[in-house]
């Protein structure tokens, strides 16, 4: 074995050495080639320099003409030409020396690997210096001109200046170069025009200067230029302090109208004084016609502007996010189909109808439930294995009802179902599922629900404008639970807290919801177009003399006590004799179905319970009266659908039904006796056909128009088109730039405090959160193809 290893070892060593030598040789050859190339390039450079010198001598101009005062005789050539001629042989010797083979050999002898060649040009420098010194020291030479009366010889720089000067004195003497003559003539013209102030007079009268003056004038406000702004007094400061403290006082239980009365009483006297003083036209018109809050804001802003103060933002405020030319609207909701609930259906329709406008792109963000939660929430054991599969179901359901293909995006965020709350709770930071490039306008469907346990980026920091839409009267549901009054007290203030911290504006569908900060009441929901078509079909049948309604009364809703079943059973049990023979069909599924049905049987009520179904089902078209005694709804979608189909609706005289009172087929009752009377009236008469105006009020087109108006989206989307030139906009812009907003600072502080509290798992569990919902879990990562929370949001430490 040893004898066999020795030859193989020696051969391996030889191959290794030969391989190393080849690499060294190749590297040396490459360096030699590089050196030859550099030597050739220097040789070419020297040849080119010789060629340029010859061209210079051949094209040299004739000597200048001699003035009359000087002696006649041939004029020697210019000094610098003679200097270059003397320098030329030395340059040739330098070129010959560096391009000779001996130089190459010397370089190769001193060669080292990876060395670089440095050409010594000191010889050229020494030759030039010595030649110039010889010219200065030669007192008998006649190569220089006399300059003035000093009678000394000129150096190279001085000679060049003298040459130019004498050429100028010759005028048309042919020795001056054409570019120099043109440059001199332009300098002379500029000197003449500047001496006569022609240039400056033209600049003063130029159109450019007039435009600058007009733009500067337009940037001023007249009241700042001409009239002095009266200073603030103590009542005004107190009024402004109370006004800014209004949201904080609301948290303490002080009603908003009381704060407004305090502000009005403090500011009213000062307002009357200001009306008689000299204020600008815009301000005086606002003081006469505007509301007290705008008047006070404008008053404070005008005083701050008169002092030169500009407010650039505070501790919690954002500087504003850059906008591109295309606007983006993100709609975030708390439920999704096939769960047939209002927060699943209405945001879907809103996204579809908002996407019809070319002004904005729309994204609908809905919760994704794991399979175990889907089995608890979705009806008929319907489940989905992927978000793409559920998206296909959602789009198919929507297109079947609206009749067109909407252009909007559907995205999913992780969610978990809470059995105790019977609702879906977001897991993790919901805002991260909207890319920053699309973070422009956010619509939070149920903002209090979305933000109870929100631990992530503040919505108003990431988005330019955030609108909350309140769907549910949670306080009414909570009051029905154990210790409901105490729980409702805390939930009310938590709802106010998160609405203030995360929304710029809040829309309440009806007055049945709690009064939240920054809120306004408006019904921004419409009716599925399918129900309007059913109503049109029934109206056409009635015009032909056909009997459209062949059945009596019915009730449809999720079978839980809070959805009106308790009120319904109480009314029917109390007036069993008055409604003798009255039969009511009930359609619904829910967690309390067994209890509701057993209570009806125990009271011997004439109720026919059936499984829940779609309100647009053909089996429900023949019913004439829809009964809805619920007082927990904010705005009952089933009531609007029944009116759209041309039916009678018997409902309670409650703020949730305020929008429907204008329809003649809506019969409201205040007492139980009145309920009996309205039911009999509906059964004995025929409904009124809907007018085109009433039909439009129920449509999603009208609801979208109301939403755009009351949420200020129409102003935001059209701001660049027509909002920049009006005096009112200038005035409001001046107010926003000069007025510090105490309320915004408080909102930022509340958001920061909420972020800190929701980051503690113990506090989350104490307030009823689902364990582990601060971040999404592994199953969500697998279903939605997400990075683990530890990777997405790493925590760095020592």
Between CA 687 and CA 695, with CA 690 as vertex, the angle to 5 degrees is 140
- Nearest to residue 351, comparing CAs of 400, 394, 413? 394
Helix, strand, coil shares, percent, the chain, to 5: 55, 10, 35
Between CA 594 and CA 599, with CA 595 as vertex, the angle to 5 degrees is 120
Cα–Cα distance for residue pair 336/208, rounded to 1 Å: 60
DSSP of 605-652: --EEEE----TT-GGGTTEEEEEE--SS-SS-HHHHHHHHTT-EEEEE
Cα–Cα distance for residue pair 508/152, rounded to 1 Å: 100
Cα–Cα distance for residue pair 747/516, rounded to 1 Å: 14
Q: What is the pLDDT of residue 90?
A: 55
Three-state DSSP state, 245: coil
- Nearest to residue 287, comparing CAs of 278, 225, 304, 245? 278
Distance of CA 131 to the CA centre of its chain: 73
Residue 172, number of CB atoms within 10 A of its CB: 7
Three-state DSSP state, 503: coil
Q: All domains of the chain, ordered by start, with CATH?
A: 325-523+740-782 (3.40.50), 527-697 (3.40.50.2000)
Cα–Cα distance for residue pair 135/128, rounded to 1 Å: 11
Q: What is the pLDDT of residue 796?
A: 46
Contact call for residues 454 and 461 (beta carbons, < 8 A)? no
Q: What is the pLDDT of residue 96?
A: 61
Backbone Cα Rg of the chain = 45
Contact call for residues 583 and 605 (beta carbons, < 8 A)? no
The ranges of the chain with pLDDT < 50 are 1-9, 62-75, 80, 111-117, 119, 131-132, 135-175, 197, 199-200, 203-204, 216-226, 276, 278-288, 312-320, 322, 723-738, 796-798
Contact call for residues 378 and 339 (beta carbons, < 8 A)? yes
């Amino acid at each position: 074995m040893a004898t066999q290893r020795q030859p193989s070892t020696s051969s391996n060593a030889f191959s290794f050495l030969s391989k190393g030598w080849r690499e060294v040789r190749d590297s040396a050859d490459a360096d030699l080639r590089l050196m030859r190339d550099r030597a050739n390039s220097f040789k070419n450079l020297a040849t080119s320099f010789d060629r340029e010198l010859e061209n210079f001598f051949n094209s040299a101009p004739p000597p200048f003409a001699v003035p009359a005062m000087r002696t006649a005789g041939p004029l020697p050539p210019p000094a610098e030409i003679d200097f270059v001629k003397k320098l030329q042989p030395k340059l040739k010797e330098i070129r010959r020396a560096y391009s000779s083979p001996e130089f190459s050999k010397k370089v190769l002898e001193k060669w080292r690997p990876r060395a670089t060649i440095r050409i010594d040009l000191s010889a050229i420098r020494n030759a030039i210096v010595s030649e110039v010194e010889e010219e200065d020291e030669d007192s008998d030479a006649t190569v220089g001109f006399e300059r003035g009366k000093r009678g000394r010889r000129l150096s190279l720089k001085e000679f060049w200046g003298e040459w130019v000067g004498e050429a100028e004195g010759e005028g048309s003497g042919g020795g001056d170069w054409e570019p120099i003559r043109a440059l001199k003539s332009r300098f002379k013209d500029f000197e003449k025009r500047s001496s006569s102030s022609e240039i400056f007079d033209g600049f003063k009268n130029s159109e450019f200067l007039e435009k600058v003056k007009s733009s500067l004038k337009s940037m001023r406000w007249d009241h700042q230029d001409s009239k002095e702004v009266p200073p603030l007094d103590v009542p005004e400061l107190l009024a402004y302090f109370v006004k800014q403290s209004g949201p904080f006082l609301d948290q303490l239980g002080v009603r908003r109208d009381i704060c407004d009365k305090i502000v009005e009483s403090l500011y009213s006297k000062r307002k009357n004084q200001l009306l008689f003083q000299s204020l600008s036209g815009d301000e005086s018109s606002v003081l006469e016609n505007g509301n007290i809050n705008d008047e006070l804001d404008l008053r404070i802003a005008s005083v701050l502007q008169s002092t030169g103060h500009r407010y650039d933002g505070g501790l919690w405020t954002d500087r504003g996010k850059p906008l591109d030319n295309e606007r983006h609207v993100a709609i975030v909701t708390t439920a999704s189909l096939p769960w047939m609930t209002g927060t699943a259906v209405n945001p879907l329709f809103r996204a579809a109808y908002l996407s019809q406008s070319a002004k904005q792109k729309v994204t609908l963000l809905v919760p994704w439930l794991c399979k175990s939660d889907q089995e608890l929430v979705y009806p008929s054991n319907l489940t989905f294995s992927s978000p793409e599969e559920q998206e296909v179901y959602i789009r198919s359901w929507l297109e079947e009802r609206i009749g067109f293909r909407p252009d909007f995006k559907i995205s999913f965020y992780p969610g978990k179902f809470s059995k105790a709350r019977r609702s879906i709770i977001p897991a993790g930071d919901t805002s991260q599922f909207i890319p920053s490039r699309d973070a422009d306008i956010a619509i939070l469907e149920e903002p209090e629900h979305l933000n109870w346990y929100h631990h992530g980026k503040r919505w108003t920091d990431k988005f330019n404008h955030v609108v909350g839409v309140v769907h549910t009267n949670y306080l009414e549901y909570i009051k029905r639970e154990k210790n409901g009054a105490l729980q409702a007290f805390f939930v009310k203030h938590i709802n106010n807290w998160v609405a203030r911290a995360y929304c710029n504006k809040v829309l309440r569908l009806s007055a049945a919801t709690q009064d939240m900060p920054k809120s306004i009441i408006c019904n921004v929901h419409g009716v599925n177009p399918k129900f309007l078509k059913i109503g049109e079909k029934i109206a056409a049948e009635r015009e032909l003399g056909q009997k459209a309604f062949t059945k009596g009364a019915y009730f449809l809703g999720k079978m839980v006590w809070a959805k009106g079943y308790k009120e319904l059973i109480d009314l029917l049990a109390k007036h069993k004799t008055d409604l003798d023979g009255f039969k009511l069909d009930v359609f619904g599924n829910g967690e309390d179905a067994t209890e509701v049905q057993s209570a009806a049987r125990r009271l011997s009520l004439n109720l026919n319970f059936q499984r829940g179904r779609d309100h647009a089902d053909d089996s429900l078209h023949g019913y004439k009266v829809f009964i809805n005694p619920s007082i927990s709804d904010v705005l009952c979608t089933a009531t609007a659908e029944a009116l759209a189909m041309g039916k009678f609706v018997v409902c309670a005289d409650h703020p949730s039904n305020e929008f429907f009172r204008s329809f003649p087929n809506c019969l409201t009752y205040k007492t139980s006796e009145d309920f009996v009377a309205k039911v009999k009236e509906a059964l004995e008469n025929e409904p009124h056909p809907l007018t085109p105006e009433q039909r439009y009020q129920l449509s999603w087109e009208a609801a979208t128009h109301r939403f755009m108006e009351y949420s200020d989206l129409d102003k935001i989307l059209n701001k660049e088109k027509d909002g920049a030139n009006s005096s009112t906009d200038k005035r409001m812009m001046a107010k926003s730039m000069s007025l510090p907003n105490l309320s915004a600072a408080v909102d930022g502080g509340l958001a920061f405090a909420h972020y800190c509290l929701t980051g503690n798992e113990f506090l989350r569990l104490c307030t009823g959160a689902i364990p582990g919902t601060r971040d999404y879990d592994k199953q969500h990562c697998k279903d939605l193809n997400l990075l683990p929370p530890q990777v997405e949001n790493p925590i760095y430490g020592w």
